[in-house]
Structure 1
Amino acid sequence: MKTTILPFLLLLLFTSTALIAQQATLRGIVFDEANNPLPGANILVNGGGTQTNINGFYLLEIPANQDVKVTYSYVGQKNVVITVNLDENEDFEFNPVLKTDIEQIEAVIITGRENKRAEGVLSLTPETIRKIPGANAGVENLLKSLPGVSGNNELSTQYAVRGGNYDENLVYVNEIEVYRPFLIRSGQQEGLSFVNSDLTANVDFSAGGFQAKYGDKLSSVLDITYRRPTNFGASLDMSLLGASAAVEGLSKDGRLSGIVGLRYRDNSLFVDAKQTETNYRPTFADAQTYLTYKFNNKFELGFLGNVSINNYSYEPQTRQTNFGTLADPIALLVFYEGQEEDRYDTYFGALKGTYVVSDTFTAKLITSLYHTQEQEYFDILAQYRLGQVNSDIGSEDLGEVEFSEGIGSQLTHARNNLDALILNVEHKGNIEINDNSFEYGIKYTREDIRDRVQEYEVIDSAGFSINPPLPDFATNQPYDPDTTPITPFTNIRATNDVQINRISGYAQWSRRTEWGTNDVWLNAGVRAHNWTVSGKNIESTTQTVFSPRAQIAIKPKWEMDMLFRLSGGVYHQPPFYRELRDSTGAVRPEVKAQQSVHIVIGNDYSFDLWERPFTLNSEIYYKNLTDVNPYTLENVRIRYRARNNAVAYAYGLDLRLAGEFVPGTESWVSFGYLKTKENIEDRGYIFRPTDQRLKFGVLFQDYVKVIPDLKMYLNLTYNTGLPGGSPSYADPYDFQTRLPDYKRADLGVSYVIVDENKLRDNGFLKPFKELTIGAEIFNIFDVRNSITNTFVRDVYTKVQYSIPNFLTPRIFNVRATMKF
């Protein structure tokens, strides 16, 4: 308890120094004639002012108790001028509408969006995120349509970026780092992503070469900003996959604002359509809120809270998987007994205090507490037949197994429990001196993890127990009887009590200047990270790493709107608990931070096509990785070797063409090329588990011209196959085959009954600000994609079969969205 109260006491002490200035706050959103928010609009007052952000929102501190003249301007629009006189600490909202001016001004305007471009950050539209169809609709669904981002499991929100794995991606919500559960091994167990799309205002994403202010991961940064309400509103989204609701509001004086979201998810629609017949009873639900209170014009306090309860109950009954060729079809028929009961409960709370010390210095204090309790219990007996399938089209037994080539059984057992508590205390500051910006931060993290892993697998084939393929267990079955006791094929038993203390920090400098007639952005910084691993029966180990990083971007004064960018540096990923635990369940505190030297060269070209705006983003990148911690990938479960006994590299090309392919809509086409290999113990280079060579993605929006309220959303993905993995105890150098290519198309069709242009004055539709109904088709072409292989061993024929585990077939869904 003392540990959790201390940050709050520090926060109170920090705020007690605030001086109540004679100021007031003016805020709002600037719109154009079509009611579209205007990013980069200028708000001028007394020789100073500000600009609207990417969503057209602005916030301005002005003197209180006096007449203040405020001018709103935007290129090509008529100015709006108002005079306000506000009381001390009053918070006033004004949302002007700028209309088109007769006289067009030709000028180049540098907006906040271009600052993001200079940083190599891609901004995504929250409205697009909420509309685009997908089995796991949300931010991650949209990310998977980007080049360099891959995810071959529609039931998972996990994604891999440029050859990295799922553990190498940073996720922030309002500058607060968030975490995922540890034990989840299958995409259908995940349920809900932490990020709630109903609450989202800004989505920024960097696939590499990011600045020092972002944390210690190797691959990417997803930076989410939750919406800050300007008035009361509510929304509701319902489908056969679940429901979500959000309510937001603002107090009369504008000081207290809050938004609350509730979500429920049920994956039965997908699981019931798979080849395995099951009794499936999932419950995925969460509640999330973001509250802010403005004490005065100097100090503001925010609270982010989340409670997530995920129950996964799974009782398989039968499965038949047909594979092989047309000439030699083979089937695996499995009869199951037993069930799986998993539970993942997570609780997260964070306080963020922002104090404006002066016009040039802003300080922040962030404290957060994350608690997860997870259990993974299952006992499943699988009795299988592997045989030839009747392929005679005229036969009554078409598709049935006629001759069994192998029979056997498999018993899997697990009693895994994990309890983790993660505490963060962080101070950040931003100092503006002339055209220079200095940012710094220091963070303390305490990770307290208690873990019990107990799982085994017993396999027999044709009545013979299959032993682990290790010298100590070698036998000559079935020719000579094995008289030793039955030995599990895999057997992991460990109990770990681990504490990790971390101190990390960063300092960086940024400047926007000119080089001749060219605009130039410069950034340089360094991160440091020190961590100590200790615990019961663990020898305490301390390590420190430093990560220098830099960026430069140039925007020439050409007629063409082009921006060139070079970024990179040294990126370290100090091991989290899962990376410290090896395949036997033992914790190895000496595991080093994986290191990547990362270089990114990028170009953004904005142009008009068909009198509509388009942007072509292109990046080439190279990563040289050392102290690599090799791993195997099973569905979404990562098992590390915890040895740092490999080196690796990754390089590739990302292209994305985005714009209004159809007037008034946002669509894009993306292409990615990636090659990543690793060399384990100097044995030669082999494919890494995430070596997805080619990636094509299309996100397309359209509407019917004669019925503009009838809209269509299409999400297409084509990925070449990933390496297919290897069975337990196998040498990965002997298993370098690939899974089939991943092909998927999701289609959504909706009809807008009510929106801001079709408000109803009476009747039952009057309460609605927006009402949309629609239908979705997932996997339109019913492609049989696979995520992993199941390896079946036949002791008699000495053959090992790799049998694909198929993902979801074509699924239909209906959906209704409404706002009040």
Structure 2
Amino acid sequence: MSTNRLILVFFFFCVGFVATAQNARINGIVLDANNQPIDNVNVVCLGNSAQSNANGFFELSVPANRKVVVIFTHISLKKSTVSIFLKPNEEYEFNLVMNDYQEQMGEVIVVSKNKKRIQGITTIEPEVIRKIPGANAGIENILKTLPGVNSNNELSTQYAVRGGNYDENLVYVNEIEVYRPFLIRSGQQEGLSFTNTDLVQNVDFSAGGFQAKFGDKLSSVLDITYRKPTKFGATLEASLLGGSLAVDAVSKNRKWSVITGVRYRDNSLLVKSQDTQTNFTPSFADIQTNINYQASSKWQWSFLGNISQNKYQYQPLSRQTNFGTLDNPMALLIYYEGQEKDKYDTYFGAVKSTFKVNNNFTLKFIGSVFHTLEQEYFDIFAQYRLGEVDANIGSETYGDVNFARGIGTQLNHARNDLDALIVNTEVKGIYDWKENQLEWGVKYTRESIRDRVVEWEVIDSAGFSINPPIVILPKNDQPYSSYTGPLVPYQNVRATNFNTINRFSGYAQWSRKDRIGSSEVWYNAGVRLHNWEVLGDNIVSKSQITISPRAQFAIKPNWEKDMVFRLSGGMYHQPPFYRELRDASGVVQPNVKAQQSVHIVLSNDYSFKMWNRPFKLVSELYYKSLTDVNTYTIDNVRIRYAATNNAKAYAQGLDVRLNGEFVPGTESWLSFGYLKTEENSADRGFIARPTDQRLKFGLLFQDFMPNIPSVKLYLNLVYNTGLPGGSPSYADPYLYQNRLKDYRRADVGFSKVLINNSTNIDRSWLKSFKELEIGLEIFNLFNNQNAITNTWVRDVYSKNQYAIPNYMTTRVFNVKLNAKL
């Protein structure tokens, strides 16, 4: 099908939408006047009912996006009612005291986003995450449509936020910090993100100016909560890229609940659309479970576990990449021998216990272990020809290389192994007092790293060995005279590191809601401390400490227009992780200091109605001043640090996001971001940082066919201006800087609902399905050629070096089936 026809199909489907029914949940504990739990309390709302257990606990599903009344009745106590308004998939805790002499009445308009609106947190609905198409569908796929979040690699789940890099983002699942593998250097090696979207209940994201309770990173926080099942259920997804299965289970006494997900992914469909022809046999699989136990009305336990095994076997065969101009078309032809075998095994387990001392005081204990075993082995021999392409239309050799400007060979070798064990223990407390809330926490982390790096590269051109340009060797003017100096690898890194890092951190913060005149105001102030020390053989390290004060202030004027103004910021530190301690030669530098950043974020949140439907416009102006910067280079998704603190930098920009019901009953959004970030290394002057993504446009859109509401459309569109990058890894950025071309991508999906809750099914084998959908996805709808890096080919004879772009995926079709039991 031609591109024009695909565009016509896309616009044909972009009309109207029908809202589907969605639910929320209310749960809590019913107590008597003596604060004792009451069992057998009937809880009813619009035909749905539940009953409190021996611990007084209840849980009830209620309709979302409408005001409903929940009724509590007991044979010996007065009836109580509460009026609530919840958002889809929202879970609201309501603890009730029932008595025998007074009926309780009340109204609770609950929108969890109100509190998060004050904190500058973006909330993303799980249903949107699961439906929106993308080559790497999931939470990170949606994040890349938000302003200030940038990525130009659809095969990767990594993202950069407001001038930071991939290592500067915090990720939590159920308040537990999670980690990603260390050695991955290419997006197509990643396979699966840690987060299983089939298990997600709530997703919160902050792009800067976040509170002290969040950890020590410079850029962003992604805070994910997995759902607690209320009844048995299962979801299934299968596509040409893999599949997943998630199962919910609840015990009869409702004290135990378990949700488990299994996933498998195969990126062959995407990788085989690239220029390089390969034998590609990946195996990306994981199993993840979240177990919850309600020990009593005051004590809850949970376990989060994950086992992931990613095997990446890659055997390149050949490649032809055309480049150059219309007047001078050129091509690079490569024939390969050898293969790459990478393996990333990760094991993660965490226990969380929550004890409610009283209605105002809550304690939490969190313990977690992360273990990763990684190996990166490859020997790839490449023979290349660089030549001119026959551009004469009608010629029998049209498109072929008819004159070779240069020939050469390249041999890449690696035997990299890494074994990392990270153990965390943490205690947190929350105390509510009148309109104030105090939060505190202390944490100990031990990181044990065993790392071996052995990798080298040898290059020759027309039979002449090419020496590394950064090494001072005897003059080399081959082929005009023979070279008498030593033959050395073009690149050579060899190191063995055994290190232990001990960390102690803690935080305390205060929040308060108040009024100034007729305006509502919110205050938050806190401080973090972090102490760490690097230990290892032949290492002399000193203990270091950072102090990070942070604050937020928000005000909601008593205006006719619903606006919130927010000012947030503080001093943020990022103590170095192991990757930041290792320099380009693989050697650990133990005394690398924490990078520092001063955040200032000024934002406006305006909620309004347009076309009689809700909309929100969020604008944020930010500035970050960074000192003790540890400079780095990015190659695909591999980051290599200088392991020094000899630079300073800044990032400034504007983020704007308009979201709302462009089509009734759905959420879509448009986003725009402007960013400028530069660094000054060793007082040589300011130049663009590797993440200097100047302009960004994002669109996420949902629609349906007017006369066939069971057919829906989902569109994910991203445009980013080019990043600095693609230059040789050894190049001095002050002497040579290159920008990649603009990144443009549109992914579109169509789904047909075969069965939903309102469908009447007579056939017995279909009655067990609550939902059944079949869909078609088109990745890279307009077939844009996006480059992630350049391959640099040297030709000794002509003394030229050519940049050949490494293109990402072309247009790809995928078929998907979703079912819910």
RMSD, aligned CA:
2.1
Task: Report the Cα distance in structure 2 between the residues aligned to 1:511 and 1:679, rounded to whole angstroms.
Answer: 40
1:585–1:48 Cα change, 3 Å? farther
> Quick check: 1:463 aligned with 2:463?
yes
Separation in structure 2 between the aligned mates of residue 668 and residue 743 of structure 1, nearest angstrom: 18
SS in 2 for 1:768: coil
Q: Give the drift of 1:30.
A: 5.5
The change in CA–CA distance for 1:435 and 1:48 in structure 2 (over 3 A counts) is: farther
- Whether the aligned pair in 2 keeps the contact of 1:276 and 1:317 (CA below 8 Å) is yes
Give 1:474 shift. Answer: 3.9
Corresponding position of 2:58: 27
Aligned to 1:588: 589
Partner Cα distance (2:65, 2:300) in 1:
25
Range 54-63 or range 677-686, more displaced: 54-63
> Aligned partners of 2:262, 2:461: CA distance in 1, in Å?
48
Q: Which moved more, 1:393-402 or 1:344-353?
A: 393-402
Whether the aligned pair in 2 keeps the contact of 1:43 and 1:51 (CA below 8 Å) is no
CA shift at 1:618, angstroms?
A: 0.7
Counterparts of residues 564-713 of structure 1 (less than 5 Å): 564-713=565-714
* Inter-CA distance 732–56: structure 2 relative to 1 (3 Å threshold): closer
Aligned residue identity for 1:568: G
Kept in 2: contact 1:632–1:725 (CA 8 A): no
Q: Is the 8 A contact 2:420 2:447 kept in 1?
A: yes
- State the identity %: 62
SS in 2 for 1:538: coil
Q: Is the 8 A contact 1:464 1:477 kept in 2?
A: no
Query: Take 1:43 and 1:115, find their aligned partners in 2: how far apart are those partners?
Result: 26
Aligned residue pairs total: 765
Mapped partners of 1:69, 1:482: distance in 2: 97
Which residue does 1:493 correspond to in 2?
494
1:56-84: CA deviation from partner (whole Å, max 9, x where unpaired): 4233445699899665746xxxxxxxxxx
Q: In the alignment, does 2:341 pair up with 1:332?
A: no
Q: Secondary structure at the match of 1:616?
A: strand
Alpha-carbon separation, structure 2, partners of 1:743 and 1:68 = 63
Corresponding residue number in structure 2 for 1:36: 64
Indicate how the Cα distance of structure 1 residues 66 and 157 shifts in structure 2: closer, same or farther if over 3 A, else same.
farther
Q: Is the 8 A contact 2:80 2:103 kept in 1?
A: no
Superposition deviation, residue 679 in structure 1: 0.7
Task: Say yes or no: does 1:58 pair with 2:70.
Answer: no
Matches within 5 A, 1:455-534: 455-478=455-478, 479-534=480-535
Cα pair 1:51 1:58 within 8 Å, conserved: no
CA contact under 8 A between 1:647 and 1:679: conserved in structure 2? yes
- For 2:5, the equivalent position in structure 1 comes to none
Distance 2:83 2:452 in 1: 54
Deviation at 1:537, TM superposition (A): 1.6
3-state DSSP of counterpart to 2:472: helix
The verdict on how the C-alpha distance between 1:396 and 1:250 changes in structure 2, with shifts beyond 3 A counting, is: same
1:424–1:461 distance in 2 versus 1, CA, 3 Å? same
Q: Is the 8 A contact 2:704 2:711 kept in 1?
A: yes
Secondary structure, counterpart of 1:141 in structure 2 = helix
Distance (whole Å) between structure 2 residues aligned to residue 600 and residue 535 of structure 1: 40
What is aligned with 1:367? 367
Query: What secondary structure does 1:764 align onto?
Result: helix
Counterpart in 2 of 1:418?
A: 418
Q: Secondary structure at the match of 1:708?
A: strand
Relative to structure 1, is the Cα distance of residues 30 and 73 closer, same or farther in structure 2, using a 3 angstrom cutoff? farther
Q: 1:40 to 1:418 in 2, by over 3 A?
A: farther
C-alpha distance in structure 1 between counterparts of 2:448 and 2:99, whole Å: 52
Inter-partner Cα distance in structure 1 for 2:593 and 2:289:
37
Residue in 2 aligned with 1:186? 186
Contact 2:187/2:636 (8 A) holds in 1 = yes
In structure 2, the partner of 1:313 is: 313
Deviation for aligned residue 1:540: 2.6
Change (3 A) 1:533 1:21: farther
Q: Secondary structure at the match of 1:709?
A: strand
Q: Deviations over 1:516-549 (max 9, x none)?
A: 1011111000000000001112113210000000
- Pair 731,520 (structure 1): closer, same or farther in 2 beyond 3 Å: same
CA distance in 1, matches of 2:111, 2:613: 19
2:749–2:777 CA contact under 8 A, matched in 1: yes
Unaligned ranges ≥5, structure 2? 1-33, 39-54, 73-77
Deviation at 1:287, TM superposition (A): 0.3
Q: Secondary structure at the match of 2:764?
A: coil
Task: Give unmatched runs, 5+ long, in structure 1.
Answer: 1-18, 75-108
After the TM superposition, which residues 12-23 of structure 1 pair with which residues of structure 2 at under 5 Å, given as runs?
22=37
CA deviation after TM superposition for structure 1 residue 665, in Å: 1.3
Distance 2:149 2:321 in 1: 30
Aligned to 1:377: 377
Matched-pair contact (CA < 8 Å) for 1:26–1:60:
no
Provide, for residues 763-805 of structure 1, a one-character-per-residue CA deviation record: whole Å limited to 9, x for no partner.
3321110000010000011100000111111122221111110
Cα distance in 2, alignment partners of residues 47 and 708 from structure 1: 40
Which deviates more from structure 2 when the two are superposed, residues 779-788 or residues 531-540?
531-540
SS at the partner of 1:568? Answer: strand
Which residue of the partner structure matches residue 88 of structure 1?
none
710 and 735 in structure 1: CA distance in 2 versus 1, 3 angstrom threshold: same
Q: How far apart are the structure 1 equivalents of 2:67 and 2:373? A: 43
Q: How does 1:168-567 map to 2 (within 5 A)?
A: 168-478=168-478, 479-567=480-568
What do the CA deviations read for 1:674-710 (whole angstroms, capped 9, x no partner)? 0001111111111100111000011110001111111
**Residue in structure 2 matched with residue 810 of structure 1 by the alignment:** 811
Q: Residues 81 and 106 of structure 2 are in contact (CA less than 8 Å); yes or no, is this contact kept in structure 1?
A: no
Letter in 2 for 1:280: F
Q: Distance in 1 between matches of 2:460 and 2:137?
A: 41
CA–CA separation in structure 2 for the residues paired with 1:814 and 1:68: 59
Distance 1:764 1:794 in 2: 66
| Equivalent residue letter for 2:334 | V
Aligned-partner Cα distance in 2 for 1:396–1:72: 83
Aligned mates of 1:195, 1:378 — CA distance in 2: 29
Q: Which amino acid aligns with 1:282?
A: P
Check 1:699–1:431 CA distance in 2 against 1; reply closer, same or farther (3 A cut): same
Counting only pairs closer than 5 Å after superposition, residues 3-14 of structure 1 correspond to structure 2 as none
The amino acid of 1:803's aligned partner reads: I
Q: Is the 8 A contact 2:381 2:410 kept in 1?
A: yes
The answer to whether the 8 Å contact 2:726/2:788 transfers is no
TM-fit CA distance, 1:471? 4.9
Give me the whole-angstrom Cα distance separating, in 1, the residues matched to 2:543 and 2:752. 59
Task: Specify the SS of the correspondent of 2:766.
Answer: coil
Deviation, structure 1 residue 273? 1.1
The 3 A distance-change label for structure 1 pair 593 and 47 is farther
1:13 corresponding residue in structure 2 = none
Please give the alpha-carbon distance, in whole angstroms, between the structure 2 residues aligned to 1:168 and 1:160: 8
- State the one-letter code of the partner of 2:708: I
Task: Check whether the contact 1:718–1:741 (CA below 8 A) recurs between aligned residues.
Answer: yes
CA distance in 2: counterparts of 1:612 and 1:761, whole angstroms: 38
Q: Secondary structure at the match of 2:497?
A: strand
Tell me the equivalent position of 1:92: none
What is the distance in 2 between the residues matched to 1:546 and 1:50? 45
Counterpart contact for 2:501–2:533, Cα < 8 Å: yes
Indicate if the aligned counterparts of 1:170 and 1:177 stay in contact, CA closer than 8 A: yes
Report the Cα distance in structure 2 between the residues aligned to 1:693 and 1:256, rounded to whole angstroms: 50
C-alpha separation in 2, matches of 1:458 and 1:68: 85
Q: What residue is the counterpart of 1:81 in the other structure?
A: none
Partner of 2:158: 158
1:627 Cα shift?
A: 0.5
Of stretches 369-378 and 64-73 in structure 1, the one that deviates more from structure 2 is: 64-73
Name the aligned partner's letter for residue 780 of structure 2: N
CA shift in 2, pair 1:739/1:56, >3 Å: closer
Task: Please give the per-residue CA displacement for 1:20-78, whole angstroms capped at 9, x wherever unaligned.
Answer: 954533433463xxx4366998999999989777534233445699899665746xxxx
